[in-house]
Structure 1
Amino acid sequence: MSKHSGRITGSREWQAFWLALGFLTRIPIPVRIDYSQQLMNQCSLYFPLVGLLLGALYAGLFALLSLAWSPLVCVLLVLCFHLFITGAFHEDGLADSVDALGGGYTVAKRLAIMKDSRIGTYGTVALVLALALKAALLLDAGSIGLALLTAPAISRLPPLLLMAFLPYVSDPETSKSKPVAEGFSRPRLMVAVTFTALVGLVGSLWLPGLWLTAATAIVMVTWLWGWYLRRQLGGYTGDALGASVVLCELVLLLGF
């Protein structure tokens, strides 16, 4: 009986991983998913792992492109690939968050702006500056390949921490993040934290101090962005989670 249950658990975890990959990227899912809200809750454990897989694609593509073009051209092409493969998922969250927090004077108005599919001046400026700064910081990194590899994994931990410690404030019937936002367990969070810590520790073998830079970026973004969200919204939204990924990447790359 226990073996049978273990197989069921293993199958659910396998599906949760693929669901996380499909949720965060445009990569086709090659397995059948028995979708449920519980499975969507479970899949958030794998966000840092999906980030590491994306990082491997980015680093590999950069190495391949470097055979023909300059670092600047390669970084810009990798960023284009990133926006395509993720559907600019997190960048969209950043733009919507900045539009809402910059243009709304009440919580209700800010949430309404976040739901608007149109992008405003604040969001446009934030998006352009974030992408430009990311390209510049990658070019300044001691190891562009290592930065491309590790940053996507490390930066996908703050959303999990925000989900664990802040209330969800958006309309649950219209938000894509509702299934992820409800019921995220602390034990699964600790697994994600441990995995992210291992990424930082292993990366420190090539770039000494990476683990400290990663920890600083995660704590700074989770604390400061979380404090600001609680003050302005009373909690987090799906867009705010996406914004935290972009912000953590930028702080992490500053450390590189």
Structure 2
Amino acid sequence: MSTESKPISNEWQAFWLAVGFLTRIPMLVRIDYSQKLMNQCSVYFPLVGLLLGALYAGLFTLLSLAWSPLVCVLLVLCFHLFITGAFHEDGLADSVDALGGGYTVEKRLEIMKDSRIGTYGTVALVMALGLKAALLVNAQSIWLTLLVAPAISRLTPLLLMAYLPYVTDPDKSKSKPVAEGFSRKRLLISCLFTALIALMFSLWLPVLWLAAVTAIITVAMVWGWYLKQQLGGYTGDTLGASVVFCELVLLLGL
């Protein structure tokens, strides 16, 4: 393989690795897996979010031919939970259980690794999904909100990875390869891509740009500060929770 085509091949594999990491969508290319490639794939998280958003918006448009907006939104949320394996929602539940039930850093990390869900996590999931459905139904443009929200919200965990230390047991965490060696140069690329999405779709939804910037910065700063105080850094679960929080703040702004 030529030196020119190899970087292109690596980026193509990194994109599909990001798809496989964040969703249940089958990877359609052969992946030469390495920790370096896993580090590189994080730049594509917002792009994977846009891919998911396109699926959600398309499904909503199709379903709206037969059912009310509320029914369509709930069905889209069911599809979202299936196609992502409730990846971020699982992180939200584990994070809230740990931060609500642990009194030391060690105990919080122990609770976070427990596969069982507690009262705090259950309440957080119910409220987050219910609020998300209500906000989507009341959005100015439901299909457009479904399209852009997943992309914008997936920039937040990249900011946390760039500016906070990784604190959980690296040998037992799925996010270890992403966390190690995170490139801020690639973070800049993700920021520019997300900004382009917000600017482009602000032509149809003028408040989008302001809502996007507010959601990303607010969640990154507030959630990041809280994690620094409670854990000393971030874990894979708290990154998932940041996506859910950013989506909710974005939807509130819209």
The TM-score normalised by the length of structure 2 is: 0.99
- Matches of 1:134 and 1:165, distance apart in 2: 28
**1:101 and 2:99 equivalent?**
yes
Partner residue, 1:37: 35
What CA deviation, in whole Å up to 9, does each residue of 1:191-249 have, x standing for no partner?
00000001100110001121111000000000000000000000000000000000000
Unaligned runs of 5+ in 1: none
Q: CA deviation at 1:5?
A: 1.6
Question: Quick one: which amino acid aligns to residue 29 of structure 1?
Answer: M
Give the counterpart letter for 2:34 in structure 1.
S
CA–CA distance in structure 1, aligned partners of residues 166 and 101 of structure 2:
21
How far, CA to CA, are the matches of 1:6 and 1:107 in structure 2? Answer: 47
1:249 aligns with 2:247: yes
2:113 is matched with 115
- Share of identical aligned residues, percent? 79
Match 2:172 to one of 171, 174, 189:
174
The whole-number CA distance in structure 1 between the counterparts of 2:110 and 2:82 is: 27
The one of 229, 232, 236 equivalent to 2:230 is 232
Q: Distance in 1 between matches of 2:4 and 2:217?
A: 35
Name the CA distance, whole Å, in 2 between partners of 1:119 and 1:6.
48
Distance across 2 between alignment mates of 1:240 and 1:6: 38
1:61 alignment partner in structure 2: 59
Q: How does 1:56-95 map to 2 (within 5 A)?
A: 56-95=54-93
Partner amino acid for 1:34? Answer: D
- Give the superposed CA RMSD: 0.7
Equivalent position amino acid for 1:208 in 2: P
Aligned residues: 254
Q: Distance in 1 between matches of 2:209 and 2:84?
A: 26
Question: Partner residue of 2:134?
Answer: 136
Using the size of structure 1 for normalisation, the TM-score is 0.98
Provide the secondary structure at the position in 1 that maps to 2:3.
helix
- The ranges of structure 1 where at least 4 consecutive aligned residues each deviate by more than 3 angstroms after the TM superposition are none
Rounded to whole Å, the distance in 2 between the matches of 1:31 and 1:206 is 35
| 1:211 and 2:183 matched | no
**d(CA) in 1 for partners of 2:152, 2:137:** 19
Residue of structure 2 in register with 1:15 after alignment: 13
